Amino acid sequence: MSAGITKEHLEQTLREKLSADHVEVTDTSGGCGQNYDVIIVSSIFEGKTLLQKHRLVNDAAKNEIAQLHAFSQKTYTPTQWVELSNKK
Amino acid sequence: ILCRYLSESLKKSLDETVQKNDVVLFMKGTPERPQCGFSRAVVQILHAQGLDFSKVQTFNVLEDNELREGVKEYSQWPTVPQVYIKGEFIGGCDIVLNMHQSGELEDLLLKGGLVEES
């Protein structure tokens, strides 16, 4: 087993590979670094189904996900993200 | 690392399984005793939808490592749980939860005649 994936590494990978406007990675493992929740906002999600969006993310972070115990994702287009922020 | 888990025979049996059963759930543990929070969440959502579990074919991937790795390759999906409805791959826990919240899951189950209009 490797030492694990850092939050920063995962964030950077997703940001680069998905041309994301916004990436939020939350470590839900209590510090061991094997459980992450991520929020990704990118215009490449435009017009995609939920399954297609999640596949894009899984593909971008393939090597990283393989080393994690758990990985949970929320994907938004920039428009959806603005709508969501306004609701809060 | 280069060893492949998805043998021809496993692929064929997965093809048959997802085509023959209305709902197929690959999970960690059993519906009565899930062994991972993500698997538990999916079971709870399907219960909440009013789905009759006699219509759900479940597989415990913890009991079969070939299946555990093979199903990931089969679906091109890196994690378990995995849900199939009417032969179609729906997704994992995040997608099922999202579809549950948006009403899409209910529509899909109604359309497939798997639950009744409440």
| pLDDT tens per residue, range B76-108 | 999 999 999 999 999 999 999 999 999 999 999
pLDDT band at B21 (very low <50, low <70, confident <90, very high): very high
C-alpha count within 13 angstroms, C-beta hemisphere, residue B88: 7
Distances (CA, A) of B78 to A63, A72, B4, B65, B111: 10, 12, 14, 14, 28
Task: With beta carbons under 8 A apart, name residues in chain B contacting A55.
Answer: 76-77
This complex has an ipTM of 0.82
Measuring CA to CA, which residue among B101, B78, B105 is closest to residue B90? B105
Q: How far is A69 from chain B (nearest CA, A)?
A: 9
Judge: A51–B98 Cβ closer than 8 Å, yes or no: no
pLDDT at A66: 86
pLDDT in tens, A3-45: 578 899 999 999 999 999 999 999 988 766 688 999 999 999 9
d(CA B9, CA A71): 30
The Cα–Cα gap between B105 and A76 comes to 19
pTM of the full structure: 0.89
Residue A88 has pLDDT above 80, yes or no: no
Give me the domains of chain A, ranges plus CATH numbers: 7-87 (3.30.300.90)
CB atoms within 10 A of CB B41: 19
- Taking phi over 0 as left and psi of -120 to 50 as alpha, with beta for the rest, A47 belongs to left
Does A9 contact chain B (CB < 8 Å)?
Answer: no
